[in-house]
Structure 1
Amino acid sequence: MALKLSNLSKLNYHCLFPRLYLPLKSLSSLVQNLNGELNIAANARNPDVTTIFQIIINSPSPESMIKCLDSSQIPLSNDLIDQVLKRVRFSHANPLKTLEFFDFVDKKKGFYHTQYSYDTMLYILGRSRKFEETWRILKEMRRKDPAFITPKTVMIVLGRIAKVCSVRQTVESFKMFKRLCTNFDVSCFNALLRTLSQEKSMSDARNVYHSLKHEFKPNLITFNILLSGWKSVEEAESFFKEMQDLKIKPDLVTYNCLIDVYCKNRQLEKAHKVFDEMHEQEIYPDFISYTSLIGGLGLIGQPDKARAVLKEMRELGCYPDAAAYNAAMRNFCIAKRLGDAFDLMDEMIQVGLEPNATSFNLFFRCFYWANDMINASSLYQRMKTVHGCLPNTQTCMFLIRLCRRNGDVGFGLELWEDMVLNGFGSLTLVSDVLFDMLCDDGRLDEAEKCLFQMVEKGQRPSSVSVKRVRVLMELTKRHESLYKLHERMSIFEHGRGK
């Protein structure tokens, strides 16, 4: 029997909750983050991965790292390297130390990095703006096997560049791939457009498309990228018309993009017309189509109709997934009907679907805005113990800020220990709030312990947090702790100084 979630204390919520309807792209991003955090936990169970990871982040020099690797006697296989790099990526560990390890392995006789390792290394370097090293790795890939540089590789590199550089610089970088890619075709062009739509804006993607489309032959994927994520109905309809003019036949993804933009703009009548056209074309809506519709109904204040869509989906043989239930629960949260939202979570469990971090975050957001520490902590315990669901960074930020607001240091430390033990969430983001709480409360022992825990995990504390803890150490004359802090932080300085 499913555990009844709606027995949390009933409250009257007088605060005004913000709109919680997110685009599908945001939902997929949250799922990606959770998957990454799950990867860390899975890799942590492999002792060899942990050992190599610790050697990378703790070695003060390349020579020391090589010596430790040799003495560990761990065979460096492709699978192990892939897992270590994945651990580095999701732990935000030192990029230049990781590159030293990557280069050391690459020079071993008879060893060849996998395409996955190259792409992951490029992501790690690009995220830290190490673009000189990025292009050096790309040239090595080209020399060893040109087939390694795929549209996915192009998108990884351009995605990191687009985060910190202008659209013009991103496009210039894209053109540099012409000398590196064996097939510099529309798939690479699509990678550029996808990058711009995600990291810049749909308007930037549109402008670049019109400036370069004559050099490439746009295809269905091109238009599906250009149709996704628009806030403007007019812009989306314009691309759809151009697509038809080019005799490119729309598919399910195309129609889902149109339904999404109509629903976001509360134009439900047009969305229903798209459903009708799909049936005429014998293209049948999927759970993404219905999830957009559920979200749109919530935006026009019809959460009960949205819930009825879940039943309609099942009757049509399109069984709702967790995202569809989350969209329906979100509508009730917007309407401040948390009892109905919890009933939907019960139903979700009864049909065999497990609530995920996104499901719980809908309620944590409400509890945060209502300043409801009691129900937030109760739901967190239920999330962990009953459902075995790992929180993500968004969960942690709702909870730690709520702790800060209520002065609940004990729960803040419990959350931190769970994060350290189970490898979920960003220690760096949570630590800023936690250290403020601990330092204000004069709990220097706990602050010192937490700071060293995150350093051991390879995550760098912010300079503001380090300064606060250091000042308190100086005031209390903790000379040994100050020396230890300087020694541990030098790990990160080594990578920066190279």
Structure 2
Amino acid sequence: MILRFTNLHHLQSKPYNFNPNPRNPNPLLSQFFSSISTSIDEHVERVFHIVNRSESSLKLKESLKETQIHLSNDLIDRVLKRIRFSHGNPIRALDFFNYTAKKKQFFHTPYSLDTMLYVLGRSRRFGEILEVLKEIRRKDRNLITPRTVQVVLARVAKCCSVRQTVEWFRKFRKLVPEFDVNCYNALFRTLCQEKSMSDARNVYHSLKHEFRPNLHTFNILLSGWKSSEEADGFFDEMVKMGVEPDVVSYNCLVDVYCKSREIEKALKVVDKMRDEGISPDVITYTSIIGGFGLAGQPDKARDMLKEMKEYGCYPDVAAYNAVIRNFCITKRLGDAYNLMDAMADKGLIPNATTYNLFFRCYYWSNDLQRSWDLYGRMMKDGCLPNTQSCMFLIRLFRRHEKAEMAMVLWNDMVEKGFGSYILVSDVLFDLLCDMGKLDEAEKCFLQMVEKGQKPSNVSFKRIKVLMELANRQDALKNLSDQMALFGSAIRRQETVEIDILSDPHLC
């Protein structure tokens, strides 16, 4: 973009006021930066569709050249992010990544690399992952970080054994510039999240002679214990190694005691923290609130909110959610609603998790009207539902055969961009097909495609059957072509339907 100032004398005699006050921005500047932002968003969307819908690598390169869009690091980051969260085509994404990497004096950002590896790992293309890493090592090894290690190992661990995950971890010795304790911590965190805590600890004991654990190592491995005795033993090992526990370490102990319904032990840990000059934080109290809930004492859990404030620790949304959850479990929805209102009075905005606690109760009690009213309140308050919220609602609509309500939810999802199109659409298409609402099903299908989301093969087959029965061949061909753009194995089988009654040769 070239800016031309045609009246330089005027600018010199009357300096341009940039007005640094953000509350009263200069309208010209706001319009200028707004136009730039809009332009970038349009470029991201255009490049994304080219990458996702190109039939070949050659077609991809030709289309990108025709656009003459400058492929900056920021744009590439955003396109790859879009591909990741829309489950885009991994092969074309890799073609795009490699195409941009071959530009002179161009280096990908760590974010681009990690996102590309995530996309490949999700589709289990581990051979391509290794090739990308080798090429990056050759070009700019510093891009490979402990975060990269964790991204790759997380995808490996999802579909491979613990042994194979550790083998992949060892491959990074030749790839990461500094193979230190942070890389080991990435492995342990991956195993904790994707496998089990016991797997992570077993691997730790087999590898601990190779490195010196730090506080972060123990905090990772302390979380998620099911046995308080084992947690105590591991905590003692940390202390014997000269690693001083912090608030995170103590919170892990409090959490395991609370989950074991050993509230008294948890409270003693809190006292010990204070004696050592470590102030319990909101996570500490939230665990204790959950412990009281498991013990069937929701009122004591609510009292913890007051105690927190007395010690200068103010509850956050998660703490209130823990108390609300206790009341929802005991079917005391009036008290739960009062707490949600109290949150709002204190300036804490209930989030999707807050509403889901109520949605869960209404779903299991089959209360459609209250669920619908709560959804209305949620949208009015500006809190966007998450995937769990949408699933509670769409399944309830399916159960009651409320296609109109389902379409309102779907249109809100499309307009505001919340929830999982793939998960919700499967239930929605079931409902619409069962009720014979083929026009609505076709509309939702095309909206998904427009958003870069691939409808499931099961949903497509259901719509396909209805369209064949309704003899809507043109519409069916359009949907089949759209599915083919995603590389689907589904291909429309061209059939010639002969009307026996109108063919004299078959009469």
**Alignment-derived partner of residue 460 in structure 2:** 466
Name 2:469's counterpart in structure 1.
Answer: 475
Q: Distance in 1 between matches of 2:135 and 2:315?
A: 46
Structure showing greater Rg? 2
Q: Distance in 1 between matches of 2:230 and 2:41?
A: 49
Q: CA deviation at 1:494?
A: 7.0
Deviates more, 1:74-83 or 1:149-158: 74-83
The SS at the match of 1:493 is coil
Over 3 Å counting, the alpha-carbon distance change for 1:133 and 1:301 in structure 2 is same
Partner in structure 2 of residue 16 of structure 1? none
Aligned 1:107-146 pairs, distance under 5 A: 107-146=102-141
| 2:29 aligned residue | none
**Equivalent residue letter for 1:351:** K
Q: Does 1:390 align with 2:388?
A: no
The code of the aligned residue for 2:178 comes to N
Alignment partner of 1:493 is 2:493: no
| Residue of structure 1 in register with 2:190 after alignment | 195
How many angstroms apart in 1 are the aligned matches of 2:135 and 2:339? 53
SS in 1 for 2:210: coil
Match of 1:292 among 282, 287, 293: 287
**Corresponding residue number in structure 2 for 1:232:** 227
Q: One-letter code of the match for 2:430?
A: D
For 1:384 and 1:423, how far apart are their aligned partners in 2?
A: 13
Q: Which secondary structure does the structure 1 equivalent of 2:486 belong to?
A: helix
TM-score by length of 1: 0.88
- The equivalent of 2:497 in structure 1 is none
Query: Could you report, residue by residue, the CA deviation over 1:234-260 in whole angstroms, capped at 9, with x for unpaired residues?
Result: 221121111122121111100000001
1:350 offset after TM fit, Å?
0.8
1:326 aligned onto 2:325: no
| Partner of residue 296 from structure 2, selected from 301, 308, 313 | 301
What one-letter code is carried by the residue in structure 1 that aligns with 2:358? Answer: F
Whether the 8 Å CA contact 1:44–1:50 is kept in 2: the answer is: no
Equivalent position of 1:102 in the other structure: 97
Give the letter aligned to residue 472 of structure 2.
R
| CA distance in structure 2 between the partners assigned to 1:398 and 1:44 by the alignment | 37
Runs of 4+ residues deviating >6 angstroms: 42-45, 494-497
Residue of structure 1 aligned with 2:49, choices 28, 34, 54: 54
Aligned with 2:444 (options 450, 453, 467): 450
Partner in structure 2 of residue 405 of structure 1: 399
Structure 1: segments with no counterpart, 5+ residues: 1-41
Q: Partner residue of 1:261?
A: 256
Q: Does the aligned pair in 2 maintain the 1:43–1:50 contact within 8 Å?
A: no
Paired residues of 2:150 and 2:187 also in contact (CA < 8 A): yes
CA positional deviation for 1:496 = 11
Which residue is 1:174 aligned to?
A: 169
State the one-letter code of the partner of 2:450: E
The alignment-based identity, stated in percent, is 62
Task: Determine the structure 1 residue equivalent to 2:247.
Answer: 252
Partners of 2:171 and 2:55 lie apart in 1 by: 35
Contact 1:43 1:83 in 2 (8 A): no
Match of 2:151 in 1: 156
**Aligned AA for 1:72?**
T
Query: 1:45/1:142 Cα in 2 relative to 1: closer, same or farther (>3 Å)?
Result: closer
**Change in 2 beyond 3 A, CA 1:454/1:343:** same
What's the CA shift for 1:182?
1.8
**1: CA distance between counterparts of 2:155 and 2:238?**
30
Determine the C-alpha separation between the residues in 2 that align with 1:45 and 1:427: 25
- Per-residue CA deviation, residues 303-357 of structure 1 (Å, 9 max, x unaligned), is 1111111121122211111111111111110111111111111111111111111
- In the TM superposition, residue 118 of structure 1 has moved relative to its aligned partner by 0.5
Shift of the 286–159 alpha-carbon distance from structure 1 to 2, 3 Å rule, reads: same
1:323 alignment partner AA? A
* SS of the residue 1:109 aligns to: coil
State the SS of the aligned residue for 2:244.
Answer: coil
Question: 2:329 matched to 1:371?
Answer: no
- Bigger relative contact order (CA 8 A; separation at least 6): 1
Q: Which structure 2 residues correspond to residues 199-210 of structure 1 after superposition, within 5 A? A: 199-210=194-205
Cα contact 1:92–1:459 (8 A) shared by 2: yes
**Structure 2 CA distance, aligned partners of 1:427 and 1:90?**
11
Q: 1:89 to 1:44 in 2, by over 3 A?
A: farther
2:415 is matched with 421
* Map 1:20-35 → 2, pairs under 5 A: none
Q: Which runs of 5+ in 2 are unaligned?
A: 1-36, 492-507
Please state how far the C-alpha of 1:46 moved relative to its aligned partner.
2.3
CA offset digits 1:94-148 (Å, max 9, x no partner)? 2112112112221222322111110111111111111111111111221122221
Q: Which amino acid aligns with 1:298?
A: G
Task: Compute the TM-score of the two structures, normalised by the length of structure 2.
Answer: 0.87
Q: Does 1:65 align with 2:60?
A: yes
How many pairs were matched up? Answer: 455
CA separation of 1:190 and 1:233: change in aligned 2, threshold 3 A: same
Structure 1 residues 495 and 180, CA gap change in structure 2 (3 angstroms):
farther
- Residue 432 in structure 1 maps to residue 398 in structure 2: no
